[in-house]
Amino acid sequence: IGMKSEFPDQALRVNLAAHYTTVDDFQANSFSGTGFVLQNAGELETYGAELEVFWQPAENTTVTLAYAYSIADFKEFEKGGCYVAYTFHTGQDDPGRVNPTDGACDRSGDRIDSNPEHYATLGLKQELYLADGIEGYVFGEYTYIGDMVLDQNQDPYKTEDSYGLLNLRAGVHFEEYDIDLTVWGRNVLDENYKRTTYDVPLQDGKLMTYPSDPRTYGITLNKNF
Q: Is the pLDDT of residue 35 over 70?
A: no
What residues contact 89, with CB distance under 8 A and at least 6 apart?
157, 205
What are the E-state strand segments in 42-93?
A: 43-58, 61-76
SS3 call for 10: helix
pLDDT of 107-165, one tens digit each? 999 999 999 999 999 999 999 999 999 999 999 999 999 999 999 899 999 999 999 99
Helix (H, G, I), strand (E, B) or coil at 9: helix
Q: For residue 154, what pLDDT is reported?
A: 92
Length of the chain: 225
Q: Residue 117, exposed/middle/buried by CB under 10 A (0-12, 13-18, 19+)? A: middle
Is residue 93 within 8 Å of 100, Cβ to Cβ?
yes
pLDDT given for residue 202 in this prediction: 82
Query: In sequence order, what are the residues at sequence separation of 6 or more whose Cβ sits closer than 8 angstroms to the Cβ of residue 197?
Result: 150, 151, 157, 158, 207, 208, 209, 210
For 74-94, what is each residue's pLDDT tens digit?
999 988 889 999 999 999 999
Angle at 7 between CA 136 and CA 47, to 5 degrees: 95
Residue 33 has pLDDT above 60, yes or no: no
Model's pTM, two decimal places? Answer: 0.89
